[in-house]
Chains A and B, each alone.
Chain A
Amino acid sequence: MAELDIVSPPSSPAALSPKRILVILGEPHRVVLALLGLSGLVMAIHLMDWAWLPQYLPKLGDGLLMTLMMLVASVIVGFLLALPLGLVQVGGIWPLRWLATAFCTAVRGTPLLLQMWLLYYGLGAVFAQFPEIRGSWAWDYLRQAWPYGFLALTISFAAYEGEVMRGAFAGVPRGELEAAEAFGMSRWQIFRRVWFPRAVHRALPTLAGEIILQLKSTPLVATIAVTDLYAVITQVRQATYLTYEPLLFLVAVYLCLSGLLILALRWLENRVPTGQ
């Protein structure tokens, strides 16, 4: 029996040597494409008006920070909420299961923009009517816009990921859980050591896509007066009467962010080569 190399993980793009990358980049069609892209960039820099950029850089930085904070916070908190949402839909008692399904369906079935406005203009106005709330420490936060943006993004992410996690939990092969049971693990240990990590690993490719979608949902917070990157660019457009330059800049930034996210999540996925 010929012995295969079954120990080393399959080579991934990340494992390419610099020499090999040079060879790949040297292929003719890639060279042509790269030149086209480069000339486009050079033309954009020379023919377009970028004089506004240096003076807005600090504001753009703040906006970028706000965008990233919205993304990271809503993804983390949303995912933490998605776990119980997915779990009770797989193994919960019927009232919980019913509630979770209703929540996911309602949130996924309505526009995020609508939810955000309902929270900001609706809930925000309700809060303002109670002197107890207006007088409390919480008012410092509740009268700002970002908590509502964060809340809307979090609820949306939780609902979508609740569905993803439901599928992921249900999809972990029964035998793997049975093995854990047969070796005397407690229910919590089975969850923590096998069920949960396996479900997350199975869900990772989907989650990666959903996080990119979430990034692209963050500009909606600009509609409720949260100054994210998109809102700063809108200010730039109003102040300079420029249209394409700020928007192209925005495209470039979102592309870079998406690219970085994809690389990071792919790295995470490849850490456990389950060969599936």
Chain B
Amino acid sequence: MQHQSATRVVTQPQNDAAKSATAESAVEIHDLHKSFGGVDVLKGISLTARQGDVVAIIGGSGSGKSTLLRCVNLLETPTSGQIAIQGEPYRMRAGKNGALVPADRRQIQRIRAHLGMVFQSFNLWPHRTVLENVMEVPVHVLKTPREEARARASTLLDRVGLGDKLDAYPSFLSGGQQQRAAIARVLAVDPLAMLFDEPTSALDPELVGEVLSVIRDLAAEHRTMLLVTHEMAFARDVATHVVFLRDGIIEEQGSPTQIFESPRSEHLKQFIKSVA
């Protein structure tokens, strides 16, 4: 089954039937493989996040969960498999060594602009103020008029509790404040899906709460999210769907209650015990 899709590369035309069937899905991943220099990190992942889903991706270190998330916006190019964002598959073609390469850079940029990502280490642009960071993508990628972008950016920053830090430079903010600004930067593009890559792992313990509470609010608004996290209690709380990754495959998935209260696989039981 895995071999079948390695050859079936992604450029199939979209017919209307397929479109309507996937209209509800925000992110659809089919049989995704990724290897780094011969090491298989992802070994056939299929996963669908419907609109409004909050999918928590958990697993030990090296299980491939960050790689999986980074494949969704093609920061990592999958070796094989298919990814579609709101029914639109990335156009890929087979490269020299058989691995996939992007076929249409513009399409990827267009889709990426509507998939905000929140990074473990914030990655705000330090030469711009917090407000400018949030305005950057709307103004320069989405071509929103500057005044409109400014008004929206300051509303969003207000929402994440940084209304008084608009003109501050990122390096003068605490980690928690920087991460909240990074979340506002994502909200500013009106994302189809928000990708969170361990958003609290680089934070001091006392700052984790303020970031989680912002994410919790967003989850309550039924925004689509893919969330790689180590915060099990939080995952259990906000996720609509939990995916347990081990060794490059989805070992178990289900509702938070299923995963955390009646795990079936031995590994998941051990994992929950070890992080609890």
Q: A interface vs B, CB < 8 Å?
A: 1, 6-7, 9, 173, 175-176, 178-186, 189, 193-194, 197-198, 201, 272-276
Contact = CB atoms under 8 A, between A and B. Distances in A.
Interface in B148-171: 164-165, 167-169, 171
B121 interface: yes
Contacts, number: 87
A201 B128 CA distance: 12
B125 A179 contact: yes
Interface of B: 73, 75, 105, 108-117, 119, 121, 123-127, 136-137, 140-141, 164-165, 167-169, 171-174, 185, 189, 195, 206
Contacts of B185: 183
A275 B111 contact: no
B172 A182 contact: no
Contact of A274 (B112, B114, B117, B126): B126
The 8 A-B pairs at the shortest CB distance, nearest first, are namely A184-B113, A275-B171, A184-B112, A179-B123, A175-B123, A184-B109, A182-B117, A6-B172
B169 A274 contact: yes
A252 to B, nearest CB: 37
A184 B141 contact: yes
Contact of B127 (A1, A181, A184, A272): A272
Contact of B109 (A6, A185, A272): A185
B125 A273 contact: no
**Among the interface residues B111, B136, B174, B206, which one has the most CB atoms of the partner chain A within 10 A?**
B136
**Among the interface residues B113, B124, B137, which one has the most CB atoms of the partner chain A within 10 A?**
B137
Contacts of A175: 119, 121, 123
A103 B168 CA distance: 42
B4 to A, nearest CB: 31
Contacts of B195: 182
Given A176-B123, A183-B116, A275 B169 contact: yes
Given A179-B119, A182-B75, A193-B140, A7 B127 contact: no
A7 B113 CA distance: 29
Given A173-B123, A183-B117, A275-B171, 12 more contacts: A1-B206, A6-B174, A175-B119, A175-B121, A184-B111, A184-B114, A185-B140, A185-B141, A194-B125, A198-B127, A201-B127, A276-B126
Contacts of A179: 117, 119, 123-125
**Among the interface residues B117, B140, B206, which one has the most CB atoms of the partner chain A within 10 A?**
B140
A149 to B, nearest CB: 35
Nearest to B73: A182
Nearest to B141: A184
B172 A183 contact: no
B141 A189 contact: yes
A11 to B, nearest CB: 13
Given A7-B168, A7-B172, A183 B112 contact: yes
Nearest to B186: A183
A39 B123 CA distance: 56
Nearest to B142: A184
A182 B112 contact: yes
A176 B126 contact: yes
A39 B269 CA distance: 85
Contacts of B173: 6
Nearest to B207: A1
Contacts of B117: 179, 182-183
A181 B75 CA distance: 8
B140 A189 contact: yes
A272 B189 CA distance: 25
Contacts of B123: 173, 175-176, 178-179
Given A184-B112, A189-B141, A7 B121 contact: no
Given A185-B141, A197-B127, A273 B171 contact: yes
B211 to A, nearest CB: 14
B254 to A, nearest CB: 29
B243 to A, nearest CB: 21
A140 B105 CA distance: 49
B132 to A, nearest CB: 10
B184 to A, nearest CB: 13
A155 to B, nearest CB: 30
Contact of A272 (B105, B137, B167, B169): B169
Nearest to A194: B125
Nearest to A182: B117
A194 B128 CA distance: 9
